[in-house]
Chains A and B, each alone.
Chain A
Amino acid sequence: MKVLTANRLSDGIAVWYADGGWAETVGHADIAHDKTGEDRLETIGAAAAANNEVVDVNLIDVEVVDGLVEPVRLREKIRAAGPTIRTDLGKQAAPEAIGA
């Protein structure tokens, strides 16, 4: 199970591909369940990079917990939340946004 992530070109903020656009939180990212889905996301990512919307595009492993997408690796968990030592910063600073 994978989702597509990148950083937005203009401000570098971590984003995830969801519902035809780039969301600032991972919770509702589009999930690829198989190779076909992954290929689709990769094509979207390559096009968005070529179109200068985002940089550093990657597919990452995820699971679904309570209906929300969560990254598997610690690195991606931290990207999705913010620095663990500054919970006032990053996505976690607005917890209501994470479930949005």
Chain B
Amino acid sequence: MYRYDEFDQDFVHARVAEFSDQVQRRLAGEITEDQFRPLRLMNGVYLQLHAYMLRIAVPYGTLNSRQLRMLGHIARKYDKGYGHFTTRQNIQFNWPALSDIPAILADLASVEMHAIQTSGNCIRNVTADHFAGAAADEVADPRPYAEILRQWSSVHPEFSFLPRKFKIAVTGAERDRAAIQTHDIGLHLKKNAAGELGFAVYVGGGQGRTPMVAKKIRDFLPEADLLSYCTAILRVYNLYGRRDNKYKARIKILVHETGVEEITRQIEAEWQELKDAELKLPEADIQAINAYFAPPALTARPEGDDAVKQARLDSKSFSEWLDQNVVTHRHPDYAAVTISLKGIGEVPGDASDSQMEAVADIAEKYAFDELRVSHEQNLILPHVARADLKKVYDALVEIGLATANSNLISDIISCPGLDYCALATARSIPIAQEISQRFASLERQREIGELKLKISGCINACGHHHVGHIGILGVEKKGSELYQVTLGGSADENTSVGEIIGRGFSSEEITDAIEQIVDTYLGLRLSSDERFIDAYRRVGPAPFKEALYAGETKAA
């Protein structure tokens, strides 16, 4: 993985020193909250309901054991023994004292981590496919490009005060696991007919109160032009993006109001001025960054087939976990493992200090010291020899992280909601927990098949409800929590925004409603191979409306 060079390390240390000084001056009353707020936000410090919150960047979701161990240490020493992995592949701590944050940032810097640009109207943490470098279906590892974007966007003087925040995602496979079409810029790394690497470029996706699927504005951008083209997009946005209304300030609104054709023309015109200048990426630089992401030496481990076969016979639960949480690796003797942070009835995305440390140990011992955070709020071991899968499974069982529910209905994305967040209008986590409990039987979940359920506690949609096969949005209505349901959303290569199915449900009704939707699907699917999303696209909302609301219409 990427290692800081001297420049990176000096930069991060300098920032720790600068922000520590700002914190000291704030605590001493030398600067006001109005002066301090933008400074703390630039360093990932929010104020929530109960305390401050610190959001730490995990660039493109890649971590090593030492870093995860440090996160566990921070959870224990400065927080309340746990952390929350987010949909931006980052981690948040919910209880740090402001006075401790300089020490936390110094600890982070010692393992090449920081909290820079995890908030504010700048380019946020660039996300990538969590199976990058391991996926069997990938054209090339997208992370070197994410790293190039990270270096370019870090304290970029022109793009530090954008109209609004700006999110970029990169995938290297046809099957999009990075939700690129829900991003301000989505990049799909691919090869052209000549075998050269480049990107399909999508612009103007986003969720929030106005969900939009990104528009493809270029089918193939040569890799050398990555930064000049992104600069052109950001320049057009920075110039014309709305600053008069926070809710209309994202690039998705600009793309929508300007029209795809015209905005593409503007971007291309801007790019003509930039494309052959200093932003053109030299091949040697790309190679230098690529070298950091050289895959680990995956030696042949052909004994894996027999080992897995035997272990399957010995343990049904291992066999189920293998089927659900383990995916094919590009090397036949290896596999990529999803560590579910969605235990039945648990808080989605939360991990305790000791779990973090134990997972770090597992990664060090069996997974070439490499870990990923997925945007679906799970942890990933990207490279595990099949021969070691049973040992990894056993170690995960010991720490309660072997739930075999990846991509099933209890693998829920949920924002923190009103239990923590100052912006939330309703709670998300208790709803996720109740649904997870209702569908606790893994047998039943597997019978249902792939089902992406996502919950947000306010219209800002941090829980990605718009692109859930089933989405739940919590709002406040007449002083009570009310949950709106959307169906038919998706965040893969066929991205779609879900449609509101009808009136909302109270917190007491919502789990029953979800069960009714699932039962309706089971009753109408053509076969067990037809996933929920495929069935919904075939039949539309009518049968689900009928199941949920028919009684009411008749009564009325």
Contacts and interface: CB of A to CB of B under 8 A. Distances in A.
Binding between chains A and B: yes
A79 B347 contact: no
Contacts of B480: 74
5 contacts: A12-B51, A49-B33, A55-B47, A85-B429, A86-B347
Nearest to B52: A12
A55 B33 contact: yes
A62 to B, nearest CB: 14
Interface in A51-87: 51-52, 55-56, 72-75, 78-79, 82-86
Given A51-B29, A79-B50, A85 B98 contact: no
B99 A84 contact: no
B481 interface: yes
Interface string B50-82: 111000000000000000000000000000100
Interface residues of A, number: 25
A89 B47 CA distance: 17
B264 interface: no
B426 to A, nearest CB: 8
A84 B50 contact: no
A7 B27 contact: no
Chain A CB within 10 Å, residue with most, of B99, B419, B424, B433 = B419
Contact of B418 (A51, A78, A89): A78
Contacts of B418: 74-75, 78
Nearest to A73: B479
B505 interface: no
Given A83-B419, A84-B427, A84-B430, A11 B98 contact: yes
A20 B292 CA distance: 59
Contacts of B479: 72-74
Contact of A10 (B47, B48, B98, B420): B98
A13 interface: yes
Nearest to A50: B32
Given A55-B47, A75-B418, A11 B430 contact: no
B49 A74 contact: no
The CB with the most chain A CB atoms within 10 A, among B32, B50, B95, B424, is that of B50
Given A14-B49, A83-B419, 18 more contacts: A7-B47, A7-B51, A10-B99, A11-B99, A12-B51, A12-B52, A12-B96, A14-B51, A51-B29, A52-B26, A52-B32, A72-B479, A74-B481, A75-B49, A75-B418, A79-B49, A83-B429, A85-B433
Say what secondary structure dominates the interface of chain A.
loop
Contacts of A75: 49, 418, 424
B307 interface: no
Contacts of B476: 74
A83 to B, nearest CB: 4
Contact of A82 (B27, B50, B98, B433): B50
A56 B80 CA distance: 23
A82 B420 CA distance: 8
Contacts, number: 74
Interface in A5-30: 7, 9-14
B99 A90 contact: no
B97 interface: yes
A71 to B, nearest CB: 12
A51 B27 CA distance: 11
B50 A10 contact: no
Contacts of B97: 10-12
B419 to A, nearest CB: 4
A7 B27 CA distance: 14
B430 A12 contact: no
Contacts of B433: 85
A13 B480 CA distance: 25
Contact of A78 (B47, B49, B95): B49
A11 B51 CA distance: 7
A-B pairs with the 10 shortest C-beta distances?
A11-B97, A12-B52, A52-B29, A83-B419, A12-B51, A79-B49, A85-B429, A55-B33, A10-B99, A85-B419
Nearest to A56: B47
A10 B52 CA distance: 10
A89 B93 CA distance: 13
Nearest to B33: A55
B33 A10 contact: no
Nearest to A89: B80
B481 A13 contact: no
Given A9-B98, A12-B52, A89-B80, A83 B47 contact: no
Nearest to A51: B29
A78 B52 contact: no
A91 to B, nearest CB: 9
B120 to A, nearest CB: 18
A98 to B, nearest CB: 14
A33 B429 CA distance: 35
Contacts of A90: 50
Contact of B50 (A51, A52, A83, A85): A83
Interface centre among A73, A75, A85 (most CB of B within 10 A): A85
A9 B420 CA distance: 18
* Of listed A52, A79, A84, residue having the most chain B CB within 10 A: A52
A13 B479 CA distance: 25
A54 to B, nearest CB: 9
